[in-house]
């Protein structure tokens, strides 16, 4: 159990290190107005805090820095509510100012604003795509041998795939195929596309188009759309500006993680629970994130769906400010996306 004096010293050490990224010594602490203790008393208390594993020495300074355990204690017991500035609130509200924006534009803009406000890397998990329905299918020839298929959903999600045009397929065949696809697939949930393709669409293509077997194979591959939550990023390179990541190997490990969505997705998804979740360093159970704090805020969307906002930053993160931003933005995003889905259903 920490004394009030130890609690105060620990909080000031962590707050000071978050701001400066410089180790904190007893001499600098003794000059702070909020700490009315002698240097000797401060040194003794810092020694006790170090024995408890809440702060630690660095190799390059006589000062102390928070340990991972210290950050955990700070987040769990010492954080005070952080009032957002009017400028912050205005930036958040600007996301939703354009009422005709597609859902994916709103989510992407949220990720960008969040990274701008924090100077960290932000990730937003949009609602699951499996509930999205096909709105329109287009096929645009690029050359005589290749074309791009574009699939647009009712939420504004766009998938585009390049594919080879089977030999002998003429422009009339392509136009006929587009009509068949739109006639049979419009309104179909993405999760049901493959099944409907083989059970219904293939029959129509077989009746009207030569080389139908090659075309069915090509279209089936185009329609193989992943239906898990899509990741939207903001500030991927922001970690380069953090002094903790001046080490190129450490930065490269982090960049490898965020560039590989298949590995990052489960990390964020598993950290998503009710309300705000904070994982610090090794709590992320990933070597590449051992120097990273991950904060997520899960938000509900109408129809039982959910999304999540996430911030990845150094362990020396402005926790109170980030949590306040996530709280506000997650509520606004929940309302905006729920309203979007209600409009689409109407």
Same domain, 197 and 320: no
Neighbours of 29 (CB within 10 A): 23
**3-state class of 235 per DSSP?**
coil
Q: What is the CATH number of the domain that holds 189?
A: 3.30.390.60
How many alpha carbons fall within 13 Å on the CB side of residue 160?
A: 9
Looking up tokens 């949220």 gives 110
Query: What gap in Å lies between CA 294 and CA 327, rounded to an integer?
Result: 15
Q: What is the CATH number of the domain that holds 43?
A: 1.10.10.10
Among 51-55, 188-192, 330-334, name the most confident range: 51-55
Q: Report pTM.
A: 0.75
CB neighbour list of residue 327: distance below 8 Å, 6 or more residues apart: 276, 297
**% the chain with pLDDT above 90:** 41
Same domain, 149 and 124: no
**Could you tell me if 277 and 271 are in contact, meaning their C-beta atoms sit under 8 angstroms apart?**
yes
Same domain, 120 and 235: yes
Q: Burial code of 278-313, b = ≥16 C-beta within 10 A, e = fewer?
A: bbbbebbebebbbbbbbbbbbbebeeebbbbbbbbb
- Torsion sign, CA atoms 77, 279, 34, 41: positive
Give the domain-ending residue among 205, 222, 239: 222
Neighbours of 123 (CB within 10 A): 26
Q: What is the CA angle 318-268-150, rounded to 5? A: 120
pLDDT at 163: 79
Same domain, 252 and 110: yes
Same domain, 276 and 309: yes
At 164, is the pLDDT very low, low, confident or very high (cuts 50, 70, 90)? Answer: confident
Q: Bigger pLDDT: 118 or 134?
A: 118
Same domain, 254 and 307: yes
- Structural domain range at position 252: 86-128+228-345
At 325, is the pLDDT very low, low, confident or very high (cuts 50, 70, 90)? Answer: very high
Residue 235 has pLDDT above 60, yes or no: yes
**Could you tell me if 209 and 173 are in contact, meaning their C-beta atoms sit under 8 angstroms apart?**
yes
Same domain, 123 and 239: yes
Same domain, 327 and 264: yes
Residue 272 has pLDDT above 90, yes or no: no
């Amino acid at each position: 159990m920490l004394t009030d004096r130890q609690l105060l010293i620990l909080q000031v050490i962590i707050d000071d290190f978050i701001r400066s990224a410089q180790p904190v010594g007893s001499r600098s602490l003794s000059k702070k107005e909020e700490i009315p203790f002698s240097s000797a008393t401060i040194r003794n208390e810092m020694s006790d805090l170090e024995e408890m594993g809440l702060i630690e020495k660095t190799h390059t300074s006589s000062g102390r820095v928070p340990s991972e355990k210290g950050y955990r204690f700070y987040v769990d017991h010492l954080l005070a509510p952080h009032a957002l500035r009017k400028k912050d609130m205005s930036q958040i509200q600007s996301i939703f100012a354009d009422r005709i924006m597609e859902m994916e534009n709103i989510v992407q803009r949220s990720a960008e604003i969040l990274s701008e406000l924090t100077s960290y890397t932000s990730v937003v998990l949009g609602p699951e795509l499996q509930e999205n329905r096909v709105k329109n299918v287009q096929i645009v020839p690029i050359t005589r041998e290749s074309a791009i298929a574009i699939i647009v959903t009712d939420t504004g999600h766009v998938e585009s795939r390049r594919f080879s045009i089977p030999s002998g397929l003429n422009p009339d065949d392509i136009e006929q195929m587009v009509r068949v696809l739109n006639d049979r697939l419009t309104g179909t949930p993405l999760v049901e596309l493959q099944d409907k393709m083989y059970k219904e669409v293939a029959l129509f293509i077989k009746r009207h188009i030569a080389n139908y077997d090659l075309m069915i194979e090509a279209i089936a591959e185009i329609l193989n759309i992943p239906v898990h939550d899509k990741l939207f990023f903001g500030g991927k390179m922001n970690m380069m500006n953090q002094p903790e990541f001046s080490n190129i190997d450490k930065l490269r490990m982090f960049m490898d993680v965020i560039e590989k969505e298949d590995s990052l997705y489960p990390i964020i998804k598993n950290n998503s629970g009710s309300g705000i979740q904070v994982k610090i360093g090794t709590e992320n159970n990933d070597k590449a994130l051992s120097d990273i704090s991950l904060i997520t805020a899960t938000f509900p969307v109408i129809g039982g769906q959910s999304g999540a906002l996430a911030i990845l930053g150094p362990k020396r993160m402005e926790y109170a400010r980030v949590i306040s931003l996530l709280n506000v933005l997650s509520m606004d995003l929940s309302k905006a996306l729920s309203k979007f889905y209600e409009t689409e259903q109407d």
